[in-house]
Amino acid sequence: MKKRLLSIFTALLLIQTTVFAQRMSVNAPSTASVGEQFSISYNINTDNVKGFRKPSLGGLELLAGPFSSTYSSMQIINGRSSSSSSITYTITVMASRPGTYTVSPASAVANGRGVSSRAVTIRVVKGGGRSYASHGGGNSGGGSMGGGAIISHSSGGRGVSNKDLFVTATISKTNVYEQEAVVLTYKVYTRVQLQGFNNVTLPDLKGFHSQEMQIQQPSSLKPENYRGTTYYATTLRQFVLFPQQVGKLTIPSAHFDASVVKDVASNDPFDALLNGTSQIMVTKKLVTPPLTINVRALPGKQPANFSGGVGVFSIKAVTANTTVKTNDALSVKLIISGIGNMKLITPPTMAFPSDFETYDPKTSEQFALGAGGVSGTKTIEYLAIPHNPGKFTIPGVSFTYFDSRLNQYRTIKSNSVTVKVIKGNNNDSSSGIFSSGTKLLNRDIHYIKTGDVKLKPRDEVMFGDIAYYLWYIIPLLLFGVILASYRKKLADNANITRTLNRKANKIATKRMKNAGKLMAAGKQNEFYDEVLRALWGYTSDKLSIPVSRLSKDNIESELKNRGAADDLTQDFLKVLDQCEYARYAPGDPLEAMDKVYTSAVEVISKMEDIIKH
């Protein structure tokens, strides 16, 4: 009975094989060279194909594919129309050793019936060209669905080897100065059918100010030789880091959960003979090694007017109008261009003539992230109103930064701007001020007073009464109060540290209001940058720590010296961490921004209550 069933099975198998070899053709080279990439294509003369199962390559390495392409045509002859269509599947392979390789038949389901190709024999030599041979096929019943792979490499079992799939973490520099840009790159290398990543856990970049570079999506895998082996690789994430403290800083490991499609042969030999291999999804956990960066302090003593900039910069001053009328607004723009830690630069101050009325400058930025850091321009627009006619020269502005190429401090100066101020048509009535500083009365003759008039006798005098003495005492007292207040104001303004301390909360509140507008507009990256500027700027002004020396450790130490509770210190540091990494956290971006905004406002309010001076 068993022999009879085996004979029937064998006969059915022979019938299936006979019918299978009719309608699929294969085109492959008969000869190839070692290390040379070549293609094998399978053509089916219909586009109604439900599946394609790639063949067993007999030792050849699959680099890419199968990729499909369709062809269709229509022709009309003597009023009769006819059409034809076909589909071609192509795979790219390579041999690492010379020899003769046999590629088994490929199979597919076309028009509801199974089709297959013939086996192909390819001879691989150490050098030389290649020649192609075409092999025909036929049709039969049966067949099975096949999956289109992206990258494939033959590795047995259900696991994925670390040599077939891994992620690297590299940095552009290992020895840098404080605030000098470092590029951190995560790159994947694969020789298996990588579908994507289910979960990515990036490290806590403590001690760095980080900004992520935009990578064009979807990124494509491209062939790349890595340590003598050909892989398909692509860049996953890329960051520009600015070290905020001196010493050895460690970038911890990153974790990636990769999804991989594996071809697994059935344990049943009859099922394996009929259906070949099946595909399963495998999760591969990838971990990058930690990286260490040695951060050196900027050499020597920092100049008094050091801007905090590290990189290579240039500066110039421009104005749209070189001729203005009195009491009209004059706009002068100071443009800082270059590459480095552009966002952390402290804008310089422009000196206007004494009789120009000046306002707080407005800063705009246009940046792009690159290998050298943040490149672009920072534009500071100064607004002033001249009150007197004449020709005035606004002197150039000095800008000091640390040149990362020359490893030294450099001071550059912008060009001066000459402005001609002419007298406006309504100069006298609009300004009310001459060059002498005296005020012009609105009228030279007052109206005659009308209405009830209270008269006093001619011989009645005020001398000696209380009102007489009050007219002397009250002005003297007012003069004393005004003089004391004015002297106190001059002393406070002379103390820059105290002035910055007093204005810290006002500036932080203004920046947080701007951050609220960015949050409402859904501008996530701009929102987090503005909150960071509010937090770092507030602590710099309030704790009297220059921005170039500002770090989490300095803040924690200074808060303890000011008597702040440990809970407040930890809350402030926690808000900084939330702000730096909330943009990468999963979930609702608006909810994350609202949480960061609320925490930042609360912690600034608590610090304002505790730190009074």
Do residues 237 and 286 both lie within one domain? yes
pTM: 0.42
The crossing angle, in degrees rounded to 10, of helices 496-520 and 524-542 is 160
Tell me, what's the pLDDT at 552? 76
Question: Taking residues 114-132, what's their average pLDDT?
Answer: 73
Q: Which domain holds residue 326?
A: 306-428
Whole-angstrom Cα distance, residue 466 to residue 126? 121
pLDDT tens for 344-386 read 788 888 888 888 888 888 888 887 776 666 788 889 999 999 9
Tell me, what's the pLDDT at 286? 92
Residue 529 maps to which CATH number?
1.20.120
Q: Which of 393, 428, 463 is the last residue of a domain?
A: 428
Do residues 267 and 326 both lie within one domain? no
Tell me, what's the pLDDT at 80? 66
Residue 30 maps to which CATH number?
2.60.40.10
Do residues 414 and 505 both lie within one domain? no
Residue 146 clears pLDDT 60, i.e. is over it:
no
Tell me, what's the pLDDT at 105? 92
Q: Give, for 242, the enclosing helix (H) or strand (E).
A: strand 229-243
Do residues 203 and 282 both lie within one domain? yes
**In a domain? residue 434:** no
- Spell out the residues 6+ positions from residue 528 whose beta carbon is closer than 8 angstroms to its own: 579, 580, 582, 583, 593, 596
Beta strands 306-319 and 255-265 are unpaired
**In a domain? residue 404:** yes
**In a domain? residue 477:** no
Do residues 223 and 318 both lie within one domain? no
Do residues 170 and 287 both lie within one domain? yes
Do residues 326 and 274 both lie within one domain? no
**In a domain? residue 113:** yes
Tell me, what's the pLDDT at 462? 63
Tell me, what's the pLDDT at 430? 42
Q: Is pLDDT larger for residue 314 or for residue 556?
A: 314
Q: Which residue has the tokens 């440990």?
A: 566
pLDDT band of residue 111 (cuts 50, 70, 90) is confident
pLDDT band of residue 441 (cuts 50, 70, 90) is very low
Residue 481 clears pLDDT 50, i.e. is over it:
yes
**In a domain? residue 581:** yes
Do residues 286 and 169 both lie within one domain? yes
Do residues 337 and 278 both lie within one domain? no
Whole-angstrom Cα distance, residue 292 to residue 480? 64
pLDDT band of residue 592 (cuts 50, 70, 90) is confident
Tell me, what's the pLDDT at 75? 59
Q: If you ran DSSP here, which 8-state letter would residue 263 be given?
A: E
Question: Nearest 5°: CA angle at 201, between 200 and 203?
Answer: 140
Residue 607 clears pLDDT 90, i.e. is over it:
no
- Rounded to the nearest integer, the mean pLDDT of the chain is 77
Do residues 381 and 339 both lie within one domain? yes
Residue 420 maps to which CATH number?
2.60.40.740
**In a domain? residue 564:** yes
Q: Which of 139, 156, 183 is the last residue of a domain?
A: 139
Compute CA distances 262 → 157, 228, 268, 283, whole Å. 9, 24, 18, 10
Do residues 283 and 318 both lie within one domain? no
Number of H helices, E strands in the chain: 9, 32
Q: Does residue 328 sit in helix, strand or coil?
A: coil
> Phi and psi at residue 449, in whole multiples of 5°?
-70, 135
Tell me, what's the pLDDT at 187? 92
**CA dihedral of residues 602, 606, 611, 612 (deg, nearest 10):** 90
**In a domain? residue 526:** yes
Q: Which of 265, 295, 325 is the last residue of a domain?
A: 295
Residue 54 near residue 26, CB atoms below 8 Å:
no
Question: Nearest 5°: CA angle at 555, between 203 and 296?
Answer: 65
Among candidate residues 392, 461, 453, the one with its CA nearest the CA of residue 421: 392
Do residues 290 and 313 both lie within one domain? no
Write out the E strands in 202-329.
Answer: 208-212, 222-226, 229-243, 247-251, 255-265, 277-287, 291-296, 306-319, 323-325
**In a domain? residue 436:** no
Q: If you ran DSSP here, which 8-state letter would residue 218 be given?
A: S
Whole-angstrom Cα distance, residue 125 to residue 399? 66
pLDDT tens for 222-274 read 888 888 888 889 988 889 888 988 899 999 999 999 988 877 655 555 554 55
Report the percentage of the chain scoring pLDDT > 70.
Answer: 76
Whole-angstrom Cα distance, residue 357 to residue 365? 25
What total of structural domains would you count in the chain? 4
Residue 233 maps to which CATH number?
2.60.40
Q: How many CA atoms lie within 13 A of 9 on its CB side?
A: 10
Whole-angstrom Cα distance, residue 416 to residue 252? 49
Report the percentage of the chain scoring pLDDT > 90.
Answer: 11
